[in-house]
Structure 1
């Protein structure tokens, strides 16, 4: 009978872990999923210096929004709080003029009119854009959440650390699968020619390109997403940091403006950043939430 004890014990442990996982999943706040903690690689030594050096980090479990905050969700926040975004206060925001391949400040551009008053209205099921880091923080606080750190964001993009070497959150190095694009990014020759083969010149509806193995949407392309931390070199992250006027908050995930020959930001290790008050037509955010007693 003794030889069966290890087997029975293993079965009990497995059942307990499964039950714990199911319970955790069922108790997730609406619109969020559990990102299980663990060890994951952060960064890359292959493309841009700002992504290195590769290092390991241990991340605690947390909840993460399934998709970037949408225009409809942000509108509810504004209606309930009378919040005024930085772009509205400044009276302008950054718009990339595709016809000339340049960024310009456009008067009247804001979260409702990402390309300015003469452009199309922001669609309810698309990610909200033209929101600054300050705006994103305010929304997350209102929602009882917070912005993710870069470490948390990449841990989630790497499917809880399971992706070691693949470039993209779907676990491969190719942008297409079964003849279909897996993300809303730039196709063509940036900045003057976009073939729009993926179907979207600007933002796409959240979830239009499916979900990652963890159930997350738009973890590559569509919009860059604000993170909590300052964008500083990884090898300086343990040193005291005093932000300056030009210091940037980190962004992750890439956007519909990302060309693999230029920024290739939609890789799991891709990094960008902007100053906290900056609003751009290809930057949004999603929130995370701590798991109690984790």
Structure 2
């Protein structure tokens, strides 16, 4: 899917984008069905933190088409920014340093375009999220997996912490344990190659015997994220779904 900014001009942003080297990566999703070969992730730059309420508020003030009282319903459902006090005010339930949530894929992509960026692809996000403070890929560490899984014990209605957790080895923060995040290709994660040319997406591959196609089943938290993202439509919003942006390796700040 691709959209424009509906007449918006580019954001002047001081967001921090961290370089990631890329390389061969063993994804939980095979690049082609039945393949066990690693995917190749090209070098890219990733926003060091999720977009906050304060940053998204500045965006809607300068791009009023994306206010909740003006956004077309083809671009966001009725829950879009519904936790804000008003269309252009945060209020007590949406603190400035919390990650923005209740945003649609369309709105997230528009914001990223304003930073001359885009939403990350799944392989980019999964590659980045595999890191910890000292290792680029910590997924074989049971303690790392337990820390990621512990996030699911947090009640979904609990107030979100502020962004700014400890940086990983790349200098990126909050990839695990804060919010779910939109991906550019979220709607293709569980679609078989033979069904992408048809009207019906075979998203039930995740269930039952279809899960046998997925690799590294011990990384249950990552598989849960895939299942959740693949269940969404681009207009959907939820209280625990935010986003961050990505850029090509050679992009200007």
Establish whether TM, by shorter chain, passes 0.5.
yes
What's 1:93 paired with? 79
What's 1:139 paired with? 111
What's 2:140 paired with? 166
Provide the rounded CA distance (Å) in 1 between the counterparts of 2:94 and 2:150: 17
Aligned length: 209
2:242 pairs with 1:284: yes
What's 1:60 paired with? 42
Say if 1:126 and 1:205, in contact at 8 Å, map to a contact too. Answer: yes
What's 1:42 paired with? 27
* Unaligned ranges ≥5, structure 1: 1-28, 46-51, 95-108, 176-181, 189-193, 249-263
* Unaligned ranges ≥5, structure 2: 1-13, 204-218
Q: Deviations over 1:183-229 (max 9, x none)?
A: 982437xxxxx5x9xxx922110024x12221111111221100011
Q: Secondary structure at the match of 1:79?
A: helix
Say if 1:68 and 1:127, in contact at 8 Å, map to a contact too. Answer: yes
Q: How big is the shift at 1:93?
A: 1.3
Matched ranges for 1:176-195 at <5 A: 185-187=151-153, 194=155
Name the larger-Rg structure.
1
Q: Deviations over 1:95-148 (max 9, x none)?
A: xxxxxxxxxxxxxx526259xx9x943111010011000000110111110000
What's 2:159 paired with? 202
Q: Secondary structure at the match of 1:63?
A: strand
Say if 2:20 and 2:46, in contact at 8 Å, map to a contact too. Answer: yes
TM-score normalised by the chain length of structure 1: 0.58
Q: How big is the shift at 1:237?
A: 4.5
Q: Structure 1 residues 205 and 278 mapped into 2: Cα distance closer, same or farther (>3 Å)?
A: same
Say if 2:130 and 2:139, in contact at 8 Å, map to a contact too. Answer: no
The two structures, once aligned, show a CA RMSD in angstroms of: 4.0
Q: Structure 1 residues 164 and 213 mapped into 2: Cα distance closer, same or farther (>3 Å)?
A: closer
Q: Which one has the bigger strand percentage? A: 1
Q: Deviations over 1:228-248 (max 9, x none)?
A: 11433568258644566x899
2:230 pairs with 1:275: no
Provide the rounded CA distance (Å) in 2 between the counterparts of 1:166 and 1:72: 36
What's 2:174 paired with? 218
Say if 1:223 and 1:283, in contact at 8 Å, map to a contact too. Answer: yes
Q: Structure 1 residues 278 and 56 mapped into 2: Cα distance closer, same or farther (>3 Å)?
A: same
Provide the rounded CA distance (Å) in 2 between the counterparts of 1:165 and 1:238: 30
What's 1:236 paired with? 192
Provide the rounded CA distance (Å) in 1 between the counterparts of 2:202 and 2:54: 31
Q: Secondary structure at the match of 2:24?
A: strand
Provide the rounded CA distance (Å) in 1 between the counterparts of 2:107 and 2:248: 20
Q: Deviations over 1:2-45 (max 9, x none)?
A: xxxxxxxxxxxxxxxxxxxxxxxxxxx74110011201111179
Say if 2:131 and 2:138, in contact at 8 Å, map to a contact too. Answer: no
Q: Structure 1 residues 183 and 63 mapped into 2: Cα distance closer, same or farther (>3 Å)?
A: farther
TM-score normalised by the chain length of structure 2: 0.67
